[in-house]
Structure 1
Amino acid sequence: MAPLDGIAMPSPSSPLLPDERLAAGAARLATRYTGRFGPETVLGLIADSYARLAEHAWIRTHLVVPAERLTAERLDALAHAQALTDGPTSCAVRVQPERGPLPDGRRPPGPPGGPYIGQALTEAGVDLADAYPKPLTEEVVQAADIVITMGCGDACPVVSGCRYLDWPVADPDGAPIAVVRGIRDAIDARTTEFLTQLAP
């Protein structure tokens, strides 16, 4: 397997993992993807996933599990993009990593969505139990046929062959709950209309 673009592959003599607890997850993923991706690819991706999550995190204590989950999603997307597995046509949505509270319990200034985004989604019946903030990675974009951004600009990966749509959506940062609900409903309406257009 050739090295992934932008991902540093490890050498046996250099420490790669920024947190030694990632080794167990890397071993699980290497076993899960045996025959499709080598251990070096898995190690490189899990280290990169951790670094991307840590870049926007105020507290890094609990990033090991999300890093493993993000790595699995990236490997699945990479396998799909390389036609190693069959999968449905997919859409990619960028999710801005949200910063958690500061050690003293205060929220940091300007966390995406403010304190109401989770409340607004729960009110709409969205199950957030397995949700976690994550960046949009190159592998996910490569596996997608359609990429929908919401004011992403140059921060999102661009891959030739993908269809790109940008939905201008108000920024929920610091907005009161009523405004956040309105943003949620606007996204829901756009999504419903878009799915109707895609339906055969």
Structure 2
Amino acid sequence: MVIEMFHEEFYGRTEPLLERICRELALRFDGTLSPETVERFVGECHRLLAQKSRLRRHLPLLTERFARERLTALAQSQGLIMREVPEVLYVCARNAGRSQMAAALTVHHAAGRVHVRTAGTAPAHHVDPVIIEAMAEIGIDLGGAFPKPLTDEVVAAADVVVTMGCGDACPIYPATRYLDWNIADPEGAPIERVRAIRDHVGERVRELLSELPGTAPQSIG
């Protein structure tokens, strides 16, 4: 009964925020995606994140970011929005370690010449704090990163899908390049081990970027 009352109170406060998110995203995608599609995605994103998120105060903000990312990917996969740079999707089981490190390192090294998304087949509640610490040591802030579940449209929109320890859970689309990186799982590892995994991920990221047009790696400084 207490749990039911909490959910009623929480969703009662959240509903106006979700309505505002729907209005804003409907305007953003006006002429590209229907308001009904936007509303459906916002509702689904909120439900998916609410199952995992411990940060209830930030749930509407995360919902907006997740829905915007998915709607953009949907429009791209349907040819309604052109992809101006290569799209890379990193997938691991928890979306709390390897995929987050790979995405952040790709963004840093590519310096705007590639767009990155991440997802998890069984996403965690939050990004591993040791991962955040290890990335901060090389000047990369993961403070805004959060785990997200894997959805079809982000796979369909990707030029390259890189999986790390999540088996064959990723759907297959034609004309998409698939890579599987053998990267150790940093979950529960000490910071020294996480640093080594971080550096290994960085090497693989540089290799990938060297193969993509116009995405030569930049040095960390």
Superposition TM-score, scaled by structure 2 size: 0.70
**Structure 1 equivalent of residue 49 of structure 2:** 53
* CA gap 1:175/1:129 in 2 versus in 1, 3 angstroms: closer
**Structure 2 equivalent of residue 64 of structure 1:** 60
Give the counterpart letter for 1:93 in structure 2. Y
Residue 93 in 1 paired to residue 93 in 2? no
- Return the match for 1:189 from 203, 207, 210: 203
Question: What percentage of aligned pairs have identical amino acids?
Answer: 43
- Return the match for 1:137 from 134, 142, 151: 151
Could you tell me how far apart the structure 2 residues matched to 1:54 and 1:41 are? 20
* CA gap 1:97/1:53 in 2 versus in 1, 3 angstroms: farther
Give the counterpart letter for 2:59 in structure 1. L
Alpha-carbon distance, 1:198 to partner = 2.8
Q: Equivalences for 1:1-200 in 2 at 5 Å?
A: 19-20=14-15, 21-87=17-83, 88-94=85-91, 96-98=94-96, 114-199=128-213
CA-based RMSD: 2.4
Could you tell me how far apart the structure 1 residues matched to 2:52 and 2:125 are? 10
8 Å CA contact retained: 2:131, 2:194? yes
The secondary structure found in structure 2 opposite 1:63 is helix
Could you tell me how far apart the structure 2 residues matched to 1:147 and 1:172 are? 20
The secondary structure found in structure 2 opposite 1:94 is strand
The secondary structure found in structure 2 opposite 1:91 is strand
* CA gap 1:112/1:73 in 2 versus in 1, 3 angstroms: closer
The secondary structure found in structure 1 opposite 2:58 is coil
8 Å CA contact retained: 1:94, 1:135? no
Aligned residues: 173
Give the counterpart letter for 1:56 in structure 2. K
8 Å CA contact retained: 1:52, 1:135? yes
Give the counterpart letter for 1:92 in structure 2. L
Structure 2 residues not aligned, in runs of 5+: 1-10, 97-123, 215-221
**Structure 2 equivalent of residue 106 of structure 1:** none
Which sits farther off after the overlay, 28-37 or 151-160?
A: 151-160
Structure 1 residues not aligned, in runs of 5+: 1-16, 99-109
8 Å CA contact retained: 1:97, 1:134? yes
* CA gap 1:33/1:199 in 2 versus in 1, 3 angstroms: closer
**Structure 2 equivalent of residue 101 of structure 1:** none
Alpha-carbon distance, 1:79 to partner = 1.4
Query: Which structure carries more strand by proportion?
Result: 2
Could you tell me how far apart the structure 1 residues matched to 2:212 and 2:204 are? 12
Alpha-carbon distance, 1:120 to partner = 0.6
Alpha-carbon distance, 1:132 to partner = 2.6
Alpha-carbon distance, 1:137 to partner = 2.1
Residue deviations 1:18-48 (CA, integer Å, cap 9, x gap): 9412111111101111111111100110111
